[in-house]
């Protein structure tokens, strides 16, 4: 039976690319979209692109910051596909601002979507994987969570928190043959970063050893490796995919 991968926030950007990359490797794909808008603007196209690889793909609507909604989605994916073999916690948002001016709402929005969601999804999906006695969880962190980044107190906190959860879950779930790792992208060209101004982008390139932005495929390939049997003895790790970016 084909294995199933569930990817959160997979209607566009890195998440959509991960979905297509895993579909090309033969996984059935559960595409999580935040709502109807994301389903129409990307989710359906991503599912179609996955099916072109001859696998099954379906969209599941859920705001991953909602604990109960994550439980409902987990049950629906398990019922539809029979197993959940790979979970990629990719959904994320930014609400940048300097600490001196950051509102409580800005902080809460980013930590709920980027950080609490990872707990929500691992809490529910780990039950499925423990019963299967196998599984791979990959959490998308960021270089901001390793080095910090001015203007991203909320985002850096969330992404650093993901690393702590990843290492803890790896220790708790290892005896059940479940690996848990994080990927920490640097600057990747997606709708999230397209909105940044050109001068800022140029300054960032100067700080990247490879002198280019990452592409979604660079992240998706690292995720596909960590989801594969080739990485079966790697757990509790953070793989930085940043072209050697200095923060």
Please state, as a whole number, how many other Cβ atoms lie within 10 Å of the Cβ of residue 92.
25
**How far is 48 from 71, CA to CA, in rounded Å?**
25
**How far is 210 from 96, CA to CA, in rounded Å?**
26
Of 21, 74, 122, 185, the one binding ligand NAD (CB under 6 A) is 185
Q: In the numeric block, which tokens belong to residue 173?
A: 């779930």
Between residues 8 and 126, which has the closer beta carbon with respect to ligand NAD? Answer: 8
Q: Are 170 and 236 in contact (CB under 8 A)?
A: yes
Q: Does 145 bind ligand NAD (CB under 6 A)?
A: no
Q: By CB under 6 A, what part of segment 26-65 binds ligand NAD?
A: 32, 34, 38, 63-65
Q: By CB under 6 A, what part of segment 64-103 binds ligand NAD?
A: 64-65, 90-93
Q: Does 113 bind ligand NAD (CB under 6 A)?
A: yes
Q: Does 9 bind ligand NAD (CB under 6 A)?
A: yes
**How far is 13 from 146, CA to CA, in rounded Å?**
22
Question: Active site residue: 27, 115, 147, 155, which one?
Answer: 155
Name the one range near ligand NAD by CB under 6 A: 100-108, 165-173, 191-199, 203-211.
191-199
- Minimum CB distance to ligand NAD, residue 157 (Å): 13
Q: Does 115 bind ligand NAD (CB under 6 A)?
A: no
Of 4, 12, 126, 152, the one binding ligand NAD (CB under 6 A) is 12
Of 7, 39, 55, 140, the one binding ligand NAD (CB under 6 A) is 140
- Minimum CB distance to ligand NAD, residue 187 (Å): 5
- Nearest CA among 107, 180, 194, 185 for reference residue 141: 185
**Catalytic status, residue 155:** yes
Q: Does 15 bind ligand NAD (CB under 6 A)?
A: yes
Between residues 93 and 234, which has the closer beta carbon with respect to ligand NAD? Answer: 93
Q: In the numeric block, which tokens belong to residue 26?
A: 């033969």
b/e string for 46-72 if b means 16 or more Cβ within 10 A? bbebbeebebbbbbbbbbbbeeeebbe
- Minimum CB distance to ligand NAD, residue 63 (Å): 4
- Nearest CA among 226, 230, 203 for reference residue 22: 226
Q: Does 161 bind ligand NAD (CB under 6 A)?
A: no
C-alpha torsion 167→160→228→28, nearest 10: 120
CA 3 remoteness from chain centre = 18
The site for ligand NAD (CB under 6 A) is made up of 8-9, 11-15, 32, 34, 38, 63-65, 90-93, 113-114, 140, 142, 185, 187-188, 190-193
Catalytic residues: 155
């Amino acid at each position: 039976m084909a294995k199933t991968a569930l990817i959160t926030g997979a209607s566009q950007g890195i998440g959509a690319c991960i979905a297509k990359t895993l579909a090309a490797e033969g996984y059935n794909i559960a595409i999580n979209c935040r709502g109807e808008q994301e389903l129409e603007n990307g989710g359906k196209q991503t599912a179609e692109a996955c099916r072109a690889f001859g696998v099954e793909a379906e969209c599941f609507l859920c705001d991953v910051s909602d604990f109960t909604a994550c439980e409902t989605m987990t049950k629906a994916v398990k019922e539809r596909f029979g197993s959940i073999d790979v979970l990629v916690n990719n959904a994320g948002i930014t609400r940048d601002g300097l600490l001196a001016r950051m509102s409580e709402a800005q902080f809460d929005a980013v930590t709920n979507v980027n950080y609490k969601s990872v707990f929500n999804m691992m809490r529910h999906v780990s039950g499925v994987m423990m019963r299967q006695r196998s599984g791979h969880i990959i959490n998308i962190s960021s270089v901001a969570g390793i080095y910090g980044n001015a203007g991203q107190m909320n985002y850096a906190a969330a992404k650093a928190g993901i690393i702590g959860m990843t290492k803890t879950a790896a220790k708790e779930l290892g005896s059940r043959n479940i690996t848990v790792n994080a990927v920490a992208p640097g600057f990747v060209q997606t709708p999230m970063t397209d909105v940044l101004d050109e001068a800022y982008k140029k300054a960032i390139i100067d700080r990247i050893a490879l002198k280019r932005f990452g592409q979604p495929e660079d992240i998706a390939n690292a995720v596909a490796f960590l989801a594969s049997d080739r990485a079966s003895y790697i757990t509790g790790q953070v793989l930085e995919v940043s072209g050697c970016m200095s923060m």
